[in-house]
Each structure stands twice: as C-alpha cells, then as structure tokens.
Amino acid sequence: MAYLGPRGTFSEEALSRLFPAGEVEPQPCRSIADAVFEAAEGRADAAFVPIENSLEGSVNLTLDLLVHEVDLSIQGEVLLPVRQHLAARPGTALAQVRRVYSHPHALPQCRRLLRELAGVEVQTSASTAEAARRVATEEGAAAICNALAVEIYHLAVLRPDVQDSPNNVTRFVLLGRGQPDPTGRDKTSVVFTLREDRPGALCDALAEFARRQINLSKLETRPTKAGYGSYLFFADLEGHRSELRVAEALAAVRRRCSFWKELGSYPRAFLASEERTRCAPPSGG
C-alpha cells in the first residue's frame, strides 16, 4: 500500500483507520505522485492519498493524476478529522522559534497561528511528517504536524490544535484496479467535459440526476489543460454505478460529453464518530 510518507503523516493515520495493523504492508513514498505511480506501474497493489480538505478544498495534484496520468479507480475513502499541532525539539520555547515547516496544504489551515508568529520564516515540506522529522534535529524550528509525528520524532507540543477550524477534515481515497461490490451506501465519482458550450448545458446534464432522485454531494471545476476557458467538471453522486437508476443517469450525461471518465464506485465514508470505515484489502493486478 503506497502512501505519502515518511512515518507519521496524516495519510498513515487515515490508512490505519481503513485497514487494521498487519492487514496491508504500508509503503511510504516521498510524494503523492510517487505513491500514485507506484500503484499505477504495479510496484504496489494500491495507493492511499489525500483528495480533499474541508478548509482548503481539493488536492488538485490528486485530481490531475486521476484524469491525465493514470488508469486507477477509487476503491474506498476515509474522512479523517485533522488536528494540527505546533511542535519542536524538547526544551524549545515558543519565543525561540524562527522557522516553521509544514505541508503546503497544512499551512493555510493554520493561518491564525502564522499571523501570530510575526517575523517567523515559513517553509514548505513534502509532508507534515517530513517537517517533524526535520525539526527534530534543527534548532529554532517548529513543525505543524499531527500527534503521531510528534510521538515518532520525539517532539514537544508548543501549542496544540492550531488549525483555524475545529471542523477540519481531510478526505483520503484508496486507488487501485477493479470495482468494489455495492454495499447499499455507496458513492460514484465522475469527471466530464460537455460537448456543447451554451446557456443551460450544465443544468440540462445535471437534470439527468435530479429527475432520478440522485443526490450530488460535490461538483467542482478544474482546467482541462487544453486552453483557457476549457474546464472539467468533477462530480460525486450517491449510489453505485451498478444500480439501474445510476447507470441510466450516467449514460444519459455521457451522451452530452466530449470527455468522460468514471473515477469509481465505492463505499461512502463516515466520520469516526458515525461509523468505522472498512474496505477490502487490495488484491493487486
């Protein structure tokens, strides 16, 4: 199972919620792209990567890889409540911090803290755990990371829960091959470009879901990379593509599109307070 490493990332924490210890072999990677290509090129059975944060929105790299680079589908998802902590080497006082490291998606989740630390240099790292590993040997530095990284790299928490919102949640997806069986509580993800650029074209396409009582839980755009003003639509909808009404809606929308890709049908995740997310181990191939 390839994931964004090193040890102690939020990816590792979320992965442990999907698979109990010993059920899969974790394979930490240096970047999200490395993890995805490990699975796409057969060196790992699957990849586990972040795709969306409730404060900062989608992880665009993950979306772009799914559309443009690899032929993998979403097999499952995890919703992880994210608690960020400011941590440093033991004995470091907050007033001694001159540099703060963290992942580019984590830093904007903690804007209030960074405004308070006036004059402190802010630097990005490949992951929150990489930031923690770095400051473990660097004086005058602190990392924004999770409690797992604090424990692994023997840091001390200078200030806990530094995220701007207590409702900070990151969505992670399991990427592999094949299609999970329907569970009755599923989600389907698709990406498409409409053939016609006219008033009401998107509304007409989305009406195919509405008239079949299919709820859309997410809709957003990304550039197609084919030129300015050309966009892809990403949509998440409730239901499995093997269900008749979902299959009919997908087929109807597809007929309106110049580009269409189904990113997967998979069990819908619940927050830990609702129900533990479970997923079948990847079988490879």
Q: Could you tell me how far CA 232 lies from the centroid of its own chain?
A: 18
Contacts of 227 (CB under 8 A, 6+ apart): none
Distance between CA atoms of 167 and 173, rounded to whole angstroms? 19
Contacts of 197 (CB under 8 A, 6+ apart): none
Contacts of 206 (CB under 8 A, 6+ apart): 216, 219, 253
Query: 259 catalytic, yes or no?
Result: no
Q: Which of 9, 62, 128, 170 is catalytic?
A: 170
Q: Considering only CA atoms, which of 3, 248, 2, 5 is closest in space to residue 148?
A: 5
Q: Which of 172, 192, 209, 233 is catalytic?
A: 172
Distance between CA atoms of 54 and 58, rounded to whole angstroms? 8
Which residues are designated catalytic? 170, 172
